[in-house]
Amino acid sequence: MIGFHKFERRGDRLAPMNVFLSRLWGNVLVAVAIVAFSLALGTLGYHYLGNVGWIDGLLNAAMILTGMGPVDKMESTEGKLFATFYALYSGIAFLTMVAVILTPLYHRFMHHFHMTAD
């Protein structure tokens, strides 16, 4: 699967730069997929449950996903409930994206650190 690679173990040599960059690129693609899925989910939810247009649904989804807050006030109970759960989901999705992108960087740093210590 793209983005999920077996990392070298503590006793192994540091991976070459092209392997590291390949891992990093794969993880960035996974994060982009999470963003695309999250925007699609939010756009659909705001459109169908929040009764807003497609572009307004996309705008609301993007604003919530980036932590800026909603643009349109939800009037219906379904819209309010969706906005509540989408905001909670967005926080988790953001943390997941950060972890996915930082994993190869953190692993390389720690692996290099352990190589220097040994």
Residues 6+ apart with CB under 8 A from 21: none
What is the pTM for the complete model shown?
A: 0.80
Q: Nearest CA to 90 among 25, 45, 27? A: 45
Q: How many helices (H) and strands (E) does the chain have?
A: 3, 0
Confidence of residue 20 (pLDDT cuts 50, 70, 90): confident
Q: What is the pLDDT of residues 54-102, one digit of tens each?
A: 999 999 999 999 999 889 999 999 999 999 999 999 999 999 999 999 9
Q: Is residue 114 predicted with pLDDT exceeding 70?
A: no
Percent of the chain with pLDDT over 90: 62
